[in-house]
Each structure stands twice: as structure tokens, then as C-alpha cells.
Structure 1
């Protein structure tokens, strides 16, 4: 049994071992096949890769020695595709031998561009590894690994193309270049070809341009500043962007420190120097398009994947929105005597943009600087507070958009503080407040308290979001921004205001339309419009800003025939500045005006670069310069344009509102108490005011009627209380003796009436009744008066009687004259003596008069009354022949006659007295 069992066990064990061996052999065979297949595939891939790489290398351009010193210059075109300028490298390039380049500049450049330049063979494998990791995490193109050798090859031999093929060709030529040239020769090529902004190429030209220095005069901070520019030349231009340039400079200094090229003490000393103190720019040729071109290059540098070398040496064609005529006009306004600038130091910046598209037509970056003043583009660089011109953007715009305020929304202008409870909000006129006031009036008169209250009601977050949608940089938000304490540029303000004029659609302001590369590829750079606010917000803000220009703080910006909307702005000095520089309270630091039509938008900043002796905006003329520039530019720019008014959208309704209640006016609300304002549709008031009741009808006063024979008309007059005249009309009715019924003659607002051609011999009754204009049931008691029209026989009798009276009066006057003549024939000596004395006295009085006495003869012809025009002369003669008392009586008589002739005419009365004395 045991033997049988042992055999069986051994047999099973043997079979099991054979099975295991078979399985092991099977697995080994499978892996062998897999490895063989992978090997074959890898070999094929290597062969294919080698063939592909070889093919790519064969397609690389030749290393032409002549091209090692030349570059393809970019061309800049205007809005009509006409050439503006070419950035010519050769014109602003001076060559340097590598031995002339100081070690501090070499160290700075190599520290930031290629730390292992003297160790690699044209490509840096370690750097490529880091770039691969960055590209995997951040996407292809997020980080480059180009050595200085590769940059030389790329700048001089390749057009813009970020494909793998070009990268391989670039690496191939870099290796080939290192085989044919020494490291110093390659570094020399780089130093002489590199672009430093403002059409400056090479380190020699850059050192002279920025510092007015030769290469051997450069210190650590100078070298670091230059080495940092080429990464983004326009963005790191220290004249245009000193803050960005200083940050980049300090990055280079830290790289030099980490590479042990300088000590910590040297690094600290170099970084402590403000970049402005380094700069001393040499004179450059004036270019009226330079401010615009600077912005063009800034925008092109922002294109994803485009490097500075591609822009300045890659032969690009840059198509812009520049209007050469408008740009020339802007420069003329800025540089010449069109505006009365206070002095040469006073600066200004303006941006002019198409309202509907955001295409920038012109930029005025600065006035010609005085000697020693550094360049700065005052239109595009955000460094100044906007003041009250920010109120539509951060206060009232958000209030309409978020809270649906009407233009008549009431805000109480009163003593008020910021949320800390202690910092007061003051209006420009300090402690003067106006109580309850509409949003329209508060914006028109630029009151500060209502603006801050609006921001508080909207909330900081909503206001911040609203401003950001309009392109205003607001990384953080503070209450003081309600009054424009945040810093912005004219360029940004133009974009924001343009959205108000474009029905709430924001177009980012841009100078570049497209970029074309030498191989024919085109990048379209026109931004897509975005709806930044509701159309009702844009329209209501625009309508209120029209009031600012028509009757508010912006009246100097009015342009005949144009509907202009706009807002003024000014910023104040800090209390420390006022104390340190003895600045009066009336002075301001910055003056702004931003405005627009449906066609064009412009924003103007004015002020001084810094605070110094006399460098403050003082008087009203200086306050107004921003408005004057705006008017000069916009008036010229709108010539030949058909500019319409802002269109009211369906989302807005305009209704009459009772001032005192804010409700709908009743039939009895006086017109003087009604104002028409805009509301978001659906939010307008529906309640009718009961403030004003039906007025009582007063009685007609002083009704009288008379017949005028010459006019053959009945003249009717009456009176009515002045405070009720606007609300009442007058119904005029007439009846005659033949009928007791009154016939309607007319309804009038006048207080008199003429009834023509009445019937002779008839007696008429005139009836006048006051009737309320808004309710015919409200009437006064009628007033009546009678008037009789003479018949023809009565007229003849009156004429005969009048003629008899005139004849009798004439006879009486003739008798009096005869009696006077008899008396004059019997003079006595005493009267003659008195008369002579009287005449002598009168002669003396006449000699004392400044004006000659009228001695013209008096007409002796009888007048229509039968009286004699020489009555005064006769009375004087009579006075000479009688006593003084008699003469005085005659004078009084003559005075009475004069008063009857021209009552109240003092001049005539004085002349008559002179005649009496004579």
C-alpha cells in the first residue's frame, strides 16, 4: 500500500512539475514577443523620427552672414491702410564690439536671459526640461527655453511661428551657429540687435537714449534696467511705465545676486534708487504720431504667444485705427497756442474714440516738455484721480442699473459721514447743503453727499463690478472711490464713457485692428463688444449728463448743433500737501472732462506732473482747460458727421411728476410744479397727487366798456387776481336791447377785448365770466356792463355843440388879449424899473446854465382848441408889466397848463419854468 501510495504521489508530483514548466515557458515566450514588437516599433519610430528631423533640418534657412546684422522692420498703417511709419532699426542703431560692453551689463543680460550661455552648445537641455514641465501644466507656449543663441537665430532668420517645426529648426541653427562663431561673437550679435523700445536698437543706443551715458559709465541699476527691457520693450519702457520698469529692474538685480555676480549690499543699494532718478533722456526727434504709436506697440506686445523679437524684427504689418487728420489736430491743440495754457510745465492728455466701436482715432500724450522733464504718456498711463467724473461710473450708473432709480429719485443733501462715522463728506462749497434733491440735479451740480449716499445704497461690491465691466481697474474698492479717489487714465475713461453713449454696450478702446505676418497670416485684434449695463441705464445717464453740459458744471464744453453728454472732475490735494506747499483751499491737482456724442467719445486730463512752486491749478481759467480742449477737439472731429441724439429705448418712459410729492400731477397741479423725468418702465408712479385742489373762482373785477368812435368798436376791459390767471380763461358774451339772450363772443386768456362794428343807436350788455381751465364747472359769478352806441343824429348834434363851444372860447380869448394890449400901452416908470431888474436877474440865471436856453420863436398859429401857442410868452410879458406876485401867479398858471399837456413829464416842466423866468 505504502509503495503504491508513494508511486502515485511521485507520479502526481512529476506531472505537476511538467505542467509548471510548460506554463513558465509559455509566459517567457509572450514577453519575448512583446519586447520584440516594442523594439521594432521603437526602431521604426527612431528611423521615422530621424527622417522627419532630417527633413525639417533640411528645410531650415541658411546661416547667411549678412542677415546676422539686419532685421525686418515692422510697418504701421493707419485706418485707411496707408503707411504711417516704419520702425527702422538701422536709423537708431550703433554697433559695439563685445570688448566695449562692460561686464556689469553682460552679467545682467546673462542672469536674466541665459545663465548657462557659456556652458551649453546652443541649446540648454536643463532649461528645455523645465519648459516642458511648465508647458504640460500651463499649456504649450506658457514658458520658453530659448537661449541667447536661439534668440539671435530666431530674430534674424525666422518669421513669427510658434510651431514645433520652427522650434526644431531654430535649435538646429543655434547649434550650427555655435559651431561657426564664438560665444563672444554670438553675444555681440545679440547686444547689437536687441530692441529697447522707442525705435532704439542695441545697447549703445539704449544707454545713450535712457541715461545719456556711454557703455563704460553704466552702473548696476543702469545695466539691470536695460537688461529687463527686451522681454516686453514698451511695457518696460521706463519713461512710459516707470513702476513696471522698476519692478523688472529689481528682478534682474535679484537674479544677478543669486548668480553671485553682485553682493547683497550692492543689490540693496541698486534697488534703493528710484528709476526716475536714473533717467536722463537724450533729445529725440519729434513725431506727432508717437503717443499713438506707443499705445499700438503696447497692444501688440499683449498678443498671446508674440514675443518682442517677433514685433520689432519680424517684418510685421500692423493695421491701426489712427485718423491722421484728427491726430494732427490733437497735436496742434496740445502743442500750439490754440489753448491758453498757464506755462510750459502744464500737461494734458486726451483720447478720442469712436463711440460705437471703441476704435481710437487719436491720442494726445503730452505737451512738449520743458528741459529736463521726462517723457510720459498722460493719455494712456493710469496715474491720476478722476474726481467727480467717476460719479456716473461708480455711483449713479450702478444705482440705476441695480436699484432702478429714476432721474427724479430724491436724495437728501445734508451733513454726512463715511461709514466710520467720523470722516465727513463735504460738497465742493464746503458746509452748504440743499436738502432733498433729485439725482439729476445732484449730478448736474456735482454734489458729493448724494454721490456717496448712492454708493452706500448700491453697495461696494455691485459698484466695483459695474466699474470693472466698463474697463476701470478696481482690484479693491473703497468708499472714497465714490468721489473718484481711484487712479485711472484718459484711455480708460474714454472706454467707460463710450458705453453710456452706445446703449450700454462696452467696446474696449483699441488702436490696432489686425496684425499681418510676412507669411500672410493675419491676427484680428478687434475686441468683441460686451453688454456692460442695461440700455435704460445708459440712456438715463446720458440724458442727465446732457444737463451737465447744457446748464451745469460743463457748460464750457457745449458745441453748437451737437447733443453732448459729459462730466467734469477734479481732485484735491492732501492736507499734508497743502501744509507743506502752502496750497490754498481753492486749488486743485487734476482737472478732468469726459464726454461723448452718439459718434465720438473723448476724455481729457489736465494738471502738473508733480507738486512744486506754482505747479497747482489755481484759477477758473485753469480749471476750465480740460473742457476747452474737449470742445476744440470734438468740434473739429464732428465736422461732416451726421450726429443724432441719444435714442430713448422702450425700457424707459418719460412722464410728468409733481415736484413736491413725486406723484402724478392732478388736473389742478400748476404747470410750474410739474417736471418731466425718466423712469424704468414698470417703476413709474401710478398715484395721482391730491396736493392741489380745485381752485375757487374769483369775481371779475373792474369790468368797464366804452365805445370808440374812430375805431367804431366797443372796448371792454376787466381785471382778475394775478395768482389765478394761469388757471382761468374768460368767457365773453353780448346781448342787445332786442333780446335778453346772450351770445358767446369768445373765450380768451386776455383781460381786454374789442367788439367791432356795433349797431348805431343800440344799447349792449357785455357779460364776462371766469372759467377754470381744467374744469368748466368751476366758474365765477358773471359780471355785466352796459354801453350805448350813439345814432347818427346824436352825432350831428354833438358836432354842432362842440363847434359852438370852440367859437365861444376863441372870442373870450380875443377879448382878454385886447385888454392886455390896452394895459401895455400905459406903462409907468416904477413898473419899468421893476421889469428891468427882473430881466437882469433872469439874465444872470441864464448865464449860469450849462445848457443853452431854447430861444426859437414860438408858433402863433391857433391850435385845434382855439388856444394860442404863445400863451406862455404872453404871460411872461404880462408878468413884466405887473408886480412879482402877479408874475408868480402867472408862473403857476403856466405850470398847470404844462401838467395838463404832459402829466408827469419832468423835463417838459423844467423847460416851461425857464420860459416863465425869461
Structure 2
């Protein structure tokens, strides 16, 4: 038993020693995995192929039309349904086929539908640069994709595309596939298919007339039809044509000499003078095309049969297009044909694009100034790079003090930044500086907050910077940062939306023909604190009510906005003119400028048209819409501040109301100390006065316990009006050559630092000689007139004497008045009234003293009776009337003379008051917005740097 057991153990050990080596086991596992993966991939590919769509012949013949829906879901446009002419293969010239094959698929006539060599190169590129970085689609595959599949970069779709391409090659000839391809492609400018493109660009319906250069242009267009549009971008198209010609030489389609001759052709000379008809809403549709292409890689709204949900407000879009089209009805009359404009309208709450104005009198496919290119933003950059960042990071208030004392000297340079007025205001608040668009203040704020913080703040609002760096002159809009009306509107919208930003968007959702939907609405994020958004907005509201933007103001709307201009670097003349503004409902950014026919920048003729466009569009889209005001968040507090205090201080109980202003502070950063500047001074003490008979003078003395004051001495005589005699820094004063009477003196301490800081008056009385009564003068110019239609006697007089009241007696009835006139009612017809007026003194020694009376008579006409009809005594009455009227006229004239004198003394001429009121009510004359400039030499960082905010 033991022996058998031992032999079994030995046998087991022997088996262990005969196991396979480890490397063989690893190879076996790897091969097994490969087999399993292969089986899995084969199964997956088989599934993808099995689920591929059928080759529908109808879909091969034409492209799908895409449908565009407005913000309410109503169709407003179809793309690809029209403007297409089919071409047969026999009509295609060899030069065009050679150009297309060399550019798109060099082995088209030899491969079976897929090109393995291209696939190999694409696989390597996709491994090194990521999937989808390089395509390997042949012309056949492109036909399949445009006819049956979506443009997504998915492996399943590429497998289906290859499979269907192989099937297509089996069922159709190469010539038929080429014909399908050239009839499907979108060539830009609203042209679908190569035949329509030839007619659109060159005016040639017969393709056999195409030259080598024209064929190269058509072959190069499909890659980027909008960008390469030769009508708008002939230089860019020339570069693309050169690429096509180079490929044709490489693949032996033309000689180098032929290619070089074609390169020398001026592209604009080839183009037809007849431009494509304008497509309604084209500027907005261009943005839709751009957005779908960027967010759905490879999608083409002109050929893919998409249903696109957009944000357009067609009423707003139509009004914008109306304002940008020359007509007699247009309220804006543009100065010339070189004047360009672009604008964007956004929903302030969502960032949805409601309308786009791409340019004046635009044709389909023309340059879109609202979304293409970029320009320096001028002073509209100040909230983005100076004031906004300073509030966000440094929590400055709208009262924050900035010293605008002199031109700003750029460190390490002999260049300076000046204000456009070439004047300086000294210490100003942040609010004043922004409202007046003071350049020196903006660059100093930029320095306070730091370029990194300023850059990050602006980047959070969609701005971009070359080399990812914000420079000093960016803070006034004359540096390297550039933007478009769309980008600027998106940034300003965040200020009106409590600091929440998202990229402006024209498309909310896209539906593919197979029913699949893709949501393209961008996500929102907080770009700044709510206190920053509100405080910037509050300052920008003042810009449109009292600053440089008054021409853009819309009465009745709570509106905020900012102007901006830039200068031409060589002449310093104004170039770009901007206005960006917003309500709680809408945000609009407008750019205007001028370009010559050669696309050269010109001085702008009218910088105010940008504000006119804003005002008119905002008025139109806001009518019949409730526009609430901007709501102050709990993070912001309003505080009364004493004007001029630095750091800010609360006003004291003695601060004059004229020296108190209300400003905004981030909660927790408001001032707590109280100003002592206007604290009431202590009054003088021991004031006394003594009459000196020897030199007939009065000597005043007083005491005061304090420094840095002077003393204002005032006096009144015999109860008359108190008048200022003089000021002194001494504590005594002598008044010489006095006359008899009662003198009352006041002495007031006044601060030398501020004349409004004063003490209560100290008072003393001095009597010189015996107080004598003065006789009061009689009234002057006494007149009385009976006003028959009112049944009253109108009595008037003037008076030039000590303070008095007036006793008026009329036929024994007496009344006392303070005014210099009275109306007596109840006059009896046929009576003669004797009216007497006597002045009675009111103050000092004259109190109760009666002056000389003055009198006047007035006859009251008798009432008409049947026994004495009017016409019976016509002549007599007329004579008496003339006499009486003559007398009354003389009295009236005397009264007027007296009134004139009195009014002159008292400054109460009602005519003068009326004139003053008319003058004050005259509408203010708005100054034209000046340009931003930098003193020569020009800006240090870029050749087109402006220095000043336009304002």
C-alpha cells in the first residue's frame, strides 16, 4: 500500500514538472482575448450593418430641406428646398471633374466605395489626435452620409457609411455617383448643386464654359462655403483655389504652368455683377448655420433635413432689418454708402438671440458685422475691465474716490493716456468717472484691481485675449481685446441678469430625420456677484440719463448702457462707434463704422447713429411689454455720504443737504465714521458794543475759544434788514461815521476751511443819540381800475421805504394789508370811490409811525335801464369814457413806473421769472460723443489703440 501511495505521489510531482511555460500561457490568454474581441466586434459590426438604412433611390437624388422654427415653434424658413438646378453627368466638363477628384477623392474611379489607403492614414491620425480628427470618406461615402446618415463622429455610423458605400458602388456607376454628389452639395450664397453655383458666382449656366480657375473655385467651396464665399472673401477664396490647383498638379490633372496661369487670375473679375437675392432673416440664419456646424460637428442645415428650433423673434428681426435698409420711411438717414452697422438683440434673462442685424442693405451670404470679425470696443470695455472687476474683487463702492489729477503716464514709456477733454476733475467718485467716461480713472482702477483679476472677470463674460493677457489700454477699449456686437451684448447682458452669464445662442434644439433630438441650449453660470451686477447697472443708468448716452435713452424705461468709440491710429479721428445697453427684458449692442470699397477703414461720419439704432430698436421691442426696474439685492446697501469725504464718511447733523449724496456699498463695507467737517462751530462769547462820541464810532468786541476761523459781522439799523458789514480774523471791529439810531449787531464764527461751517449768531444792540422817529414816505404810483366783468376795483401801488403795512380806505371803509395791492369788491354802480392808502411803520423807531396818505378816485359806471338805453347816450358816454379812461390811463402809467422801480429793487419782475423758467425748461443740447485717444505717439501695445473714452 505504501509503495503504491508513494508511486502516485511521484507521478503527481512528475506531472507538475511537465506544465507549460508561463509565456505560453500568456500568449494563449492574449490570443483567446483577441478571438473573443474579434467575435464580439464581428457581432457588433454585423448588428450595425443589419440596422443600417436601406438605399432609398429617392433620397439619393436630392438633399433634405431643413426647417427652421421661431421662438414660438412656428416655421419661418426652409433651407435647401429651392434654388437648385440638376445637372447630368454628360454636362460636367472634364476640368471640373478633375478639380473635384483631386480635391476630394483622388482614387474615386478605382476604389470600390471605400479607400483603404485613406482609411489607414485616418486611423493613424485618429490614434494620435483623437477620434474624428481626420476623415477618410470618399465621394461615395459623402453621398451616403448626406443621403441616409447623420454627421456625428461615431464608429457605428462610420461602419454603416462604409457598408452603404460598398452597396452603392454595386448598384450605381461611378458617373451616377459623381452626378449625385455634385447635385447635393451646398456651395454657399444660397446655391445648392454645382450648376446653380456656377450660375450664382459666374453667371454661367453652361458648365462647359468653366475655366480652370472657376472649376478650382467650385471644387474648393464645399469645405467651408460661407467662409470661402468669393463675393465676400476673395482673398481667402484665392488661398483655397491655390490649394485645389496644387492638388490638381500633384495628381497629374494639370501642369504646373496651367496652374500658375490660373493663380494669376483676379477672382473678383470672374464674378457676376448680379448678386443673389436677399434671403429673409439671412443674418440670423447665418448664426444658426454657424451654431449647428460648431455644436454638431459635420451637420449641414442646408442639406441634412433638420428641424431646428431657434430663438428668433421675427417681429424684432424684421424691425432691425427695416432700420438697416435704406428707405424713405426709415427714421435713420445714413450719411453715405460706406457707413456700416451691426447689432444684436438678446433676451436679458436667458441669453437667447432675438434678432441680428448683420449690415446695411445686406444680400444673402454677405459679411455679417454682428457675428463675424471683431473690433476694439472703446469705452464699452470700462465696465468689463475696470469698474466690474474693482467692485467684484475689491468691493469698492460707487462713491469710491479716484484722483483724476493729470494725464496717466505709462510706466517705462514716454506715452500718456489723457482724457478726451484734455482737462482733469481732481478727486471724483467711481460713478462720476464712469458717467463721464474719464480715461485716467479707468486705467487707475485697472491698476488697483490688477490685470489678472480684470482679465478673469472679462473672460467670464465671454471676452478673449491674445496671449491670454489683458494690457493696460484694454481697460479703455484700445488694447488687444476685441469683440463683436454679439459678444458685447452677451457680456452686458450678465449685468442685467444678476451676474449670471451664458453664451448667447440662436438654437435650442435640433431634430434629425430619424427622430433623434439634441438639446443645444448652453448652461448658465455665475460670472460675478449680484452686488457687482447691480452696482455697475446703477451707474450705467446714470450714463443714459445724464452722461454720454442720453441720445440712447428711452423715456419711461429703466435702462442702463455705455457708449464707446475708437480712433484711427494714423489720424486720431473717430472710427468705431458703439453702444451697449439693457433693460430687465432685452440687451442690445450696436456697432457702426465706415469702410471704403477697398475695405479700408475710414473716419466715421456720425458717432451718434449707434445710439439712435439702440433707442429705436429698444423702443419698438419694449412697447406693450412690462419692463420692471432692476431690483437691488440684499448684498447692496444705500448709504448717505458726505460729499468730498475721503475715505467716505457719514454726514453729521450739521452737514448741508447740498453736501449729502446717496451711493451704493457692498453690505459690510459701508462707512461707519461720521464727518466732522460741517459740525456747528461754537458761538462767540461776551459780545458787546459801545458808542464813542469823540470819533462818532461804535466799537464791537467779543471772545472766541478756537482757531482757524474768521468772524462775519452783520448789522441792521432801526429794525431794518440785517446786512453783512465785513469779515475779520480779529475779535473786535470799529464802525465809523455812524448816524443816530438803534443798531443791532450779529457776529458769526465761520470756518476758514469751509464757509458753510458756521456758528449761531451772537447779538448785541447799540443806540446812537436819541432814537428819532423817521417819517415814512407816501406810496407811489397809486392806481385804481374798475373791472366790470368781475365787479371789483383793482388797486395797486409801489412803496420804497422802511418796513410798513398799508391802511387802505375806500369811502370810509378801512382795511390793512401787507401787500402792495388790493381788490375791492361790492362797488355800487354809479358811485365815485375815493381810495386812500397810508403806510404804517412796522419795525424799530418807525413802528406805528404813519406816513403821508395818497389817494385816487375811480368812477363806477351806472347800470343800463330801459329809460336810458345805451345808444341814446352813446356820444356822451363815449366822451366821458374817454376822459375817464385817459385819467385812469395816466394813473396806470404812473403806477407802472412805480412798480418798475420797486420790482427793480426787490428783484421780483414776473417777466424776468417767466424768461428764466423758459430758459431752464429748454431741452439740453447733447454734445456729440468725442473719440477715445492716446496722446502721440500712439498706443504702446497695438497699432490701433485709442486713449480716451469718447465721452
Above 0.5 in TM-score? yes
In the other structure, the counterpart of 1:366 is 359
> For 1:598 and 1:799, how far apart are their aligned partners in 2?
65
Matched, 1:640 2:624: yes
> For 2:123 and 2:285, how far apart are their aligned partners in 1?
36
Matched, 1:677 2:657: no
Which structure would you say has the larger RCO, counting Cα contacts within 8 Å and 6 or more residues apart?
2
> For 1:449 and 1:217, how far apart are their aligned partners in 2?
63
Alignment CA distance shift 1:688-1:184 (3 Å): same
In the other structure, the counterpart of 2:564 is 569
TM-score (norm 1): 0.70
Contact 2:714 2:726 in 1 (8 A): no
In the other structure, the counterpart of 2:302 is 312
Matched, 1:446 2:437: yes
Using the TM superposition, give the Cα deviation of residue 155 of structure 1 relative to its aligned residue in structure 2, in angstroms.
1.3
In the other structure, the counterpart of 1:72 is 64
> For 2:31 and 2:298, how far apart are their aligned partners in 1?
41
Task: Give me the CA root mean square deviation.
Answer: 4.6
SS of corresponding position for 1:903: helix
In the other structure, the counterpart of 2:522 is 527
508-517 or 193-202, which deviates more: 193-202
SS of corresponding position for 1:453: helix
In the other structure, the counterpart of 2:281 is 289
TM-score (norm 2): 0.67
Alignment CA distance shift 1:300-1:374 (3 Å): closer
Contact 1:321 1:361 in 2 (8 A): yes
1:328-477 correspondence to structure 2 within 5 Å? 328-335=318-325, 336=327, 337-368=330-361, 375-408=366-399, 409-429=401-421, 431-476=422-467, 477=470
Q: 5+ unaligned residues in a row in structure 2: which ranges?
A: 1-10, 684-711, 728-743, 751-755, 772-806, 813-829, 837-853, 859-888, 903-951
1:485-564 correspondence to structure 2 within 5 Å? 485=478, 486-564=481-559
Matched, 1:87 2:87: no
Contact 2:226 2:365 in 1 (8 A): no
SS of corresponding position for 1:361: strand
In the other structure, the counterpart of 2:592 is 606
Deviations 1:178-199 (A, max 9, x none): 2233323322221111112343
> For 1:450 and 1:276, how far apart are their aligned partners in 2?
48
1:818-857 correspondence to structure 2 within 5 Å? none
In the other structure, the counterpart of 2:474 is 481
In the other structure, the counterpart of 1:227 is 219
In the other structure, the counterpart of 2:678 is 692
SS of corresponding position for 1:589: strand
Using the TM superposition, give the Cα deviation of residue 531 of structure 1 relative to its aligned residue in structure 2, in angstroms.
1.3
Higher strand share: 2
SS of corresponding position for 1:230: helix
Using the TM superposition, give the Cα deviation of residue 161 of structure 1 relative to its aligned residue in structure 2, in angstroms.
5.9
Matched, 1:175 2:166: yes
Aligned pair count reads 730
Alignment CA distance shift 1:896-1:651 (3 Å): closer
> For 1:723 and 1:102, how far apart are their aligned partners in 2?
105
Using the TM superposition, give the Cα deviation of residue 330 of structure 1 relative to its aligned residue in structure 2, in angstroms.
1.5
Contact 2:185 2:192 in 1 (8 A): yes
> For 2:590 and 2:343, how far apart are their aligned partners in 1?
5
SS of corresponding position for 1:398: helix
> For 1:543 and 1:722, how far apart are their aligned partners in 2?
47
SS of corresponding position for 1:302: helix
279-288 or 316-325, which deviates more: 279-288
Contact 2:86 2:193 in 1 (8 A): yes
Deviations 1:785-816 (A, max 9, x none): 99xxxxxxxxxxx999x99xxxxxxxxxxxxx
Contact 1:549 1:566 in 2 (8 A): yes
Alignment CA distance shift 1:453-1:111 (3 Å): farther
Alignment CA distance shift 1:126-1:702 (3 Å): same
Contact 2:682 2:749 in 1 (8 A): no
Alignment CA distance shift 1:624-1:151 (3 Å): same
Contact 1:388 1:483 in 2 (8 A): yes
> For 1:303 and 1:33, how far apart are their aligned partners in 2?
45
Contact 1:413 1:437 in 2 (8 A): no
Contact 2:562 2:581 in 1 (8 A): yes
Using the TM superposition, give the Cα deviation of residue 42 of structure 1 relative to its aligned residue in structure 2, in angstroms.
7.5
Contact 1:590 1:606 in 2 (8 A): yes
Contact 2:552 2:614 in 1 (8 A): yes
Contact 1:349 1:379 in 2 (8 A): yes
Deviations 1:442-484 (A, max 9, x none): 2212222222333333333332222221112323344332332
> For 2:761 and 2:835, how far apart are their aligned partners in 1?
49
Using the TM superposition, give the Cα deviation of residue 557 of structure 1 relative to its aligned residue in structure 2, in angstroms.
1.1
Which of 623, 646, 656 is the matching residue for 2:607?
623
Which of 326, 330, 345 is the matching residue for 2:316?
326
SS of corresponding position for 1:608: strand
Contact 2:574 2:604 in 1 (8 A): yes
> For 1:187 and 1:723, how far apart are their aligned partners in 2?
105
> For 1:227 and 1:718, how far apart are their aligned partners in 2?
98
Deviations 1:327-356 (A, max 9, x none): 122222222412122234422211110111
> For 2:26 and 2:542, how far apart are their aligned partners in 1?
88
Contact 2:151 2:297 in 1 (8 A): no
> For 2:893 and 2:387, how far apart are their aligned partners in 1?
70
Using the TM superposition, give the Cα deviation of residue 722 of structure 1 relative to its aligned residue in structure 2, in angstroms.
13
Using the TM superposition, give the Cα deviation of residue 496 of structure 1 relative to its aligned residue in structure 2, in angstroms.
0.6
SS of corresponding position for 2:665: strand
SS of corresponding position for 1:328: helix
> For 2:471 and 2:323, how far apart are their aligned partners in 1?
36
Deviations 1:7-59 (A, max 9, x none): xxxxxxxxxxx999988975499969996x99899888777766765565454
In the other structure, the counterpart of 1:666 is 652
Contact 1:356 1:598 in 2 (8 A): yes
Higher helix share: 1
Contact 2:144 2:161 in 1 (8 A): yes
> For 1:525 and 1:28, how far apart are their aligned partners in 2?
57
Q: 5+ unaligned residues in a row in structure 1: which ranges?
A: 1-17, 579-584, 706-716, 725-765, 787-797, 804-858, 871-893, 908-918
Contact 2:190 2:365 in 1 (8 A): no
